[in-house]
Amino acid sequence: MIGQIGPFVKGDQGGRRVLWLHIAGGLVGGCLAGVLLGTTGVALATVVGSPWQTVSALLLAAMSLVAGLADLGVIPFAPMRWQKRQTPRGWSCALGPEGSAFGWAVDLSLGVTTIVSNQAVLVVLAAALLSGGLLSAVLVMVAFGLGRAASVAVHAASAGDVNERSNAVDRRFDAYRLIGGLGSLGVALLFLLSEIAR
């Protein structure tokens, strides 16, 4: 994505406006995903009733454990590997630099419509679904959408060659997966311990 947005930012095809539209897309996509997952979660909580608090916390702990072990390479199972789709490059022709920058960010912020290499994303989606509240689901997914879009925007706007910058980010993939894996295990521990303490 850095390689796609970068030339727009550094050329004369939208400049900084492209960056802000990309970040706005992250916000909109995050809100949309949060409302969808949160509404589904509230419906589930209503159906299940009072056991939902414990069931949802333990489910999230279990999913975080699986995602963490998958990212750390301990288990070969990768639940988020089913999606192979990427954001369409053709949007830059159909929608122009500004429209595509916005659309790509919305697409990426949904978390499930594009390929995901990091299993920790499963924890984010599960957290929004199982939070049992619309506000908490929106907050979690907005953090995801904004984090993803802002990260791309910062790298695309920084000095130097865009492709080199993109390659430098990709070289950190293994380190990022390690951090994500350990973080997922941390989430599993947090929910397990807090459920015992409650």
Partner 1 sequence: MEPWGLIGAVRLFGLVAFSGIVASMSIASP
Give the whole-angstrom CA distance, residue 146 versus residue 25.
8
- Cβ(5)–Cβ(86) below 8 Å: no
Question: Helix 16-48 to helix 91-109 angle, to the nearest 10 degrees?
Answer: 40
User: Of these, 81, 133, 158, 160, which contacts partner 1 (CB under 8 A)?
Assistant: 133
Q: What are the residues whose beta carbons fall under 8 Å from the beta carbon of 68, sequence distance 6 or more?
A: 119, 120, 123, 181, 182, 183, 184, 185, 187, 188
Closest to partner 1 by CB, 94 vs 168, is 168
Q: How many residues line the site for partner 1 (CB under 8 A)? A: 47
Binding status of residue 191 toward partner 1 by CB under 8 A? yes
Query: Which residue has tokens 């980010």?
Result: 169
User: Of these, 18, 22, 144, 188, which contacts partner 1 (CB under 8 A)?
Assistant: 144
Closest to partner 1 by CB, 13 vs 136, is 136
Instruction: Give SS3 for 23.
Output: helix
Binding status of residue 24 toward partner 1 by CB under 8 A? no
Binding part of the chain for partner 1, among 14-22, 91-99, 157-165, 166-174 by CB under 8 A, reads 166-174
Query: What is the number of helices (H) and of strands (E) in the chain?
Result: 8, 0
Binding status of residue 123 toward partner 1 by CB under 8 A? yes
Binding part of the chain for partner 1, among 12-20, 92-100, 157-165, 173-181 by CB under 8 A, reads 173-181
Closest to partner 1 by CB, 46 vs 194, is 194
Binding status of residue 151 toward partner 1 by CB under 8 A? yes
